[in-house]
Structure 1
Amino acid sequence: MINGFEDFQKLGKENMDQAMKSFGSFNKGFQVLATEMADYSKKSLEDGASTFEKLMSAKSLDKAFEIQTDYVKSSYEGFVAQATKVGELYADLAKDAYKPFEGAVAKATK
């Protein structure tokens, strides 16, 4: 009976260690995501302000349309690139958070 209890305690400790490692991975991943999103937001606001300044100094309607078109195109391309990057970061986050449990899952499926 004591052996069973010690085994149960050992299993509980291993599971807690795995959960803490997984939590650490989530924490690190979300910090990376938050930093990435803050940087993107800052750049987006700066680009918008710069474009507004260019629009205000445009000498003709054609030049204003050209500035606006360039801004929309670059904003869209930047958004798509950022969405792809964030998707990759989430996938990496999920992989890193699962790693501590790989051994337990392998043991359970044998």
Structure 2
Amino acid sequence: MGYEAEDLQKFGKEQFDAAAAATTSFTKSLQAIATETADYSKKSFESSTAFVEKLLGAKSYESAIQIQTDYWKNSCAGFVAEATKLSELYSSLAKEAFKPIETALAKVQAAKN
């Protein structure tokens, strides 16, 4: 079974289109990750600043302990939520990055049959 020049051109164009789509998707995913990380950093900084202000305004030792306990609980919960969100974004990034490869492999398998 021989390949025609037109078939090779079509195959080359499909590969180029797949690579371009993968690059676009990859870039969008990285931008989403960078934006999410920057937003979390900003929120974390604002939360830390508010914590220090509350702590400096504490009227008693018990109040300071409660402020600190609340801050750490909220910080830990926020970190876990952010880690989960980033994990999902990275997972999505990996899936999108390999999608063109999966499509190309499926086409090769289909061509063999």
> Which residue is 2:64 aligned to?
64
Cα-to-partner distance string for 1:57-94 (whole Å, 9 max, x where unaligned): 00111111111111111101100010001001111122
1:87 corresponds to: 87
Moved more, 60-69 or 88-97: 88-97
Instruction: Name the residue aligned to 1:55.
Output: 55
Structure-1-length-normalised TM-score: 0.88
Corresponding residue of 1:45: 45
Tell me, what secondary structure is at the counterpart of 1:109? helix
Partner of 2:29: 29
| Between 99-108 and 69-78, the greater mean CA deviation after superposition | 99-108
The code of the aligned residue for 1:88 comes to E
Matches within 5 A, 1:86-105: 86-105=86-105
Q: Take 2:16 and 2:91, find their aligned partners in 1: how far apart are those partners?
A: 24
Q: How far apart are 1:96 and its partner, in Å? A: 2.3
Say how many residue pairs are matched.
108
Q: Using the alignment, how far apart are the partners of 1:107 and 1:70 within structure 2?
A: 56
Deviation at 1:38, TM superposition (A): 0.9
SS of the equivalent of 2:59 reads coil
Unmatched tracts of structure 1, length 5 or more: none
Alignment of 1:9-28 (within 5 A): 9-28=9-28
Aligned partner of 1:106 in structure 2 is: 106
- Unaligned stretches of 5+ in structure 2? none
Structure 2 length as normaliser, TM-score?
0.86
**Identity across aligned pairs (percent)?**
54
